[in-house]
């Protein structure tokens, strides 16, 4: 790519209504003409010669000469020839657009079937690919647009492309420089060693979402565990198991004795066993009834303990929320203090009229008083507008932060009150738990069988039968009954053992509930830590914004750049907007826009080390323009009905 490009001559033939004109250009060239005389067509011809587009970057535009009805005049060749001085050497480029007419078989007239373009370099015909390759070796198309049209950068580029172009000039800010500038961000260093700030923010957000999803599921999982716990009196089951085993042992003993006793003895023994079974049933029921209070106490202990776990978990989560919100309040207050300092500094700023605005920067002659006063008034108005915008922005940020602090303080107060209430409830629950556990430990069942008439009668009958039974009798008829009874006892024992197996499962479920409770607390703490890292990331971006804008604005004399917007919630979003004394480019007047564009062109030319002709449209509306090293072609609206060219060598435009 070349370093210095100067347009020396441009010859147009049948181009956009211009029949034939020849233009010779100097360092500064003024082209005068009334509206519609073809001033912009000169710029269009130059860009079409280079890139097949007009000055508005359009490939579809009318090159041909039109008649009074707006129809293209056929049979003409449309030609643009330009002489460029490229790094001190002349290059002649020429392009001709021709119509292709074909006579079809059997028809007398020819028909327009298309167009063809002829390309020439230094008057030698070349292929389109060779021509484009030559243009590319002179200058890149995208760069040419940026450095030849003062408004292209700010009006045609997307803000993302403007931002990238500006960052290319200064280079990005290394994160080490940001940390050095703001040591409060040192906690981010380990993470920034592995990833950039955007990736870190996304990583934190993803981890936070995952933790929030995890913590939301825990209460449901705790409920599932609690619902899986079986409400069974395992002590009563153990008692029934011992009774069943004893009765099976008695049945076995009776079966062993069947060969030694007679039928009468078997009948009497059977009656005796029946009476004893009835007595044991009465004893079992009496024991169950006596043990009922202990069972109720145990259930109460479990329920109270469950309430204690839930309220302890709620207290812990409440305290974590209080700490997180207090930290957020402290961070916002620090930011508000910075805003107050910034507000005082901005409010104290006073307009100072630059001395260099009273003297022409090129000819060094003083401007007249009217011009100076008009310039002073414009600059002071822009200064006051910018100052008011800054103060308004700081006020908005401060109010937003103040509102957030008030909401956070209200939340902290409510959470503190909630924590006190929960703590008081926890103390009551602990007292209730201790009292119930004491009752459970000291409980002694009371069996009252002396007043049970049925029990006493059975006891008497058993004693009489035991005395009566002295000689063994035949028991052949009772053997099968004993075997059936033993089988029933075995089935009962299996059922009891099945229910007793739930005891271990219950213990595992209770352990799982405790694990989930601890996990819930740990997740809440991790979420609070991630929120702290999010706050540091936002401060990192704000610090980088400040450094970037300072570095960029050092490269420009007339414009400054705004690369980030501060949102209502205190976060920042990327943007790229040129400011002229604090006023956005799109809101500035035409003269300010052109001078801002020339300032940008100067910076781009210095960065890329290349200069190209600059076309300035509506030049008559601008009194003075910034001095630039590039060739200038001014398009000036005048009362001239035909284009008039005036070359200025070494004079101020």
434-471 pLDDT, tens digit per residue, is: 999 898 888 888 777 777 888 888 888 888 888 877 54
Contact 574, 163 (CB under 8 A): yes
Q: What is the pLDDT of residue 471?
A: 46
Helix (H, G, I), strand (E, B) or coil at 30: strand
The token pair at 240 is 């029934």
Question: What is the arrangement of strands in the sheet containing 644-648, beginning at the earlier edge strand?
Answer: 614-616, 632-637, 28-33, 644-648
The pairing of strands 559-566 and 614-616 is unpaired
What is the DSSP-derived secondary structure letter of residue 446? -
What percent of the chain is modeled with pLDDT above 70?
94
Q: For residue 125, what are the β-bridge partners?
A: 120
Q: Is residue 538 classed exposed, middle or buried when 0-12, 13-18 and 19+ CB atoms within 10 A define those classes?
A: middle
Contact 220, 513 (CB under 8 A): no
Task: Tell me: pLDDT of 175 over 80.
Answer: yes
Domain with CATH 3.40.50.300 in the chain: 5-139+610-648
Q: What is the pLDDT of residue 653?
A: 33
Average pLDDT for 378-383: 87
Task: Tell me: pLDDT of 61 over 80.
Answer: yes
Q: What is the pLDDT of residue 413?
A: 94
Task: Tell me: pLDDT of 652 over 60.
Answer: no
Q: For residue 98, what are the β-bridge partners?
A: 116
CATH topology of domain 5-139+610-648: Rossmann fold (3.40.50)
75-79, 155-159, 630-634: segment of lowest average pLDDT = 75-79
Closest CA to 125 of 93, 80, 89: 93
For residue 135, count other CB atoms closer than 10 A to its CB: 19
Task: Tell me: pLDDT of 241 over 60.
Answer: yes
The token pair at 18 is 């211009």
- CA of 96: how far to CAs of 78, 236, 583, in Å? 6, 109, 45
């Amino acid at each position: 790519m070349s370093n210095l490009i100067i347009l020396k001559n441009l010859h147009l033939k049948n181009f956009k209504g211009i029949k034939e004109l020849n233009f010779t250009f100097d360092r500064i060239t003024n082209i005068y003409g009334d509206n519609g005389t073809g001033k912009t067509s000169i710029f269009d011809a130059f860009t079409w010669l280079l890139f097949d587009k007009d000055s508005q970057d359009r490939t579809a535009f009318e090159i041909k000469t039109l008649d009074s009805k707006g129809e293209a005049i056929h049979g003409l060749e449309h030609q643009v020839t330009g002489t460029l001085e490229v790094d001190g050497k002349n290059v002649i480029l020429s392009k001709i657009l021709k119509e292709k007419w074909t006579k079809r078989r059997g028809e007398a007239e020819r028909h327009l079937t298309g167009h063809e373009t002829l390309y020439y370099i230094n008057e030698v015909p070349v292929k389109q690919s060779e021509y484009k390759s030559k243009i590319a070796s002179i200058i890149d198309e995208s760069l040419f647009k940026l450095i030849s049209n003062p408004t292209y950068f700010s009006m045609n580029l997307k803000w993302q492309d403007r931002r990238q172009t500006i960052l290319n000039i200064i280079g990005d800010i290394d994160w080490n420089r940001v940390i050095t500038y703001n040591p409060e961000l040192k906690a981010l260093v380990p993470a920034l060693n592995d990833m950039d700030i955007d990736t870190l923010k996304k990583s934190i957000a993803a981890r936070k979402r995952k933790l929030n999803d995890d913590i939301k599921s825990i209460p449901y999982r705790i409920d599932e565990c609690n619902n899986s716990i079986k409400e069974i009196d395992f002590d009563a089951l153990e008692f029934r198991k011992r009774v069943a085993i004893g009765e099976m042992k008695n049945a076995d003993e009776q079966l062993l004795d069947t060969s030694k006793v007679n039928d009468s003895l078997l009948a009497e023994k059977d009656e005796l066993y029946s009476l004893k079974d009835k007595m044991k049933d009465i004893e079992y029921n009496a024991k169950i009834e006596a043990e009922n209070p202990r069972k109720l106490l145990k259930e109460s202990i479990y329920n109270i303990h469950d309430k204690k776990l839930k309220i302890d978990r709620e207290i812990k989560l409440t305290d974590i929320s209080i700490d997180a919100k207090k930290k957020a309040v402290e961070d916002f207050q620090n930011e508000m203090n910075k805003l107050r300092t910034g507000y005082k500094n901005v409010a104290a700023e006073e307009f100072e009229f630059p001395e260099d605005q009273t003297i022409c920067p090129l000819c060094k002659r003083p401007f007249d008083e009217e011009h100076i006063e008009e310039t002073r008034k414009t600059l002071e108005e822009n200064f006051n507008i910018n100052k008011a915008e800054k103060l308004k922005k700081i006020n908005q940020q401060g109010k937003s932060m103040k509102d957030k602090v008030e909401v956070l303080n209200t939340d902290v107060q409510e959470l503190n009150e909630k924590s006190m209430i929960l703590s008081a409830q926890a103390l009551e629950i602990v007292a209730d738990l201790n009292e119930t556990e004491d009752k459970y430990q000291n409980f002694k069942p009371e069996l009252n069988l002396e007043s049970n008439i049925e029990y006493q009668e059975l006891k008497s009958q058993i004693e009489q039968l035991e005395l009566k039974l002295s000689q063994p009798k035949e028991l052949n008829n009772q053997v099968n009954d004993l075997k059936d009874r033993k089988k029933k006892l075995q089935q009962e024992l299996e059922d009891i053992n099945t229910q007793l197996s739930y005891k271990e499962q219950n213990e595992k479920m209770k352990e799982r509930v405790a694990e989930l409770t601890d996990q819930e607390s740990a997740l809440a703490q991790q979420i609070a830590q991630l929120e702290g890292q999010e706050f540091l990331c936002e401060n990192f971006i704000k610090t980088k914004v400040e450094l970037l804008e300072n570095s960029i604005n050092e490269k420009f004399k007339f414009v400054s750049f705004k690369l980030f917007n501060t949102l209502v919630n205190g976060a920042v979003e990327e943007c790229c907007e040129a400011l002229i004394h604090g006023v956005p480019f799109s809101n500035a007047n035409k003269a300010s826009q052109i001078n801002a564009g020339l300032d940008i062109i100067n910076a781009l030319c210095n960065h890329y080390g290349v200069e190209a002709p600059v076309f300035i449209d509506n030049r008559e509306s601008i009194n003075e323009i910034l001095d630039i090293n590039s060739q200038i072609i001014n398009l000036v609206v005048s009362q001239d009905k035909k284009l008039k060219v005036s070359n200025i060598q070494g004079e101020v435009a």
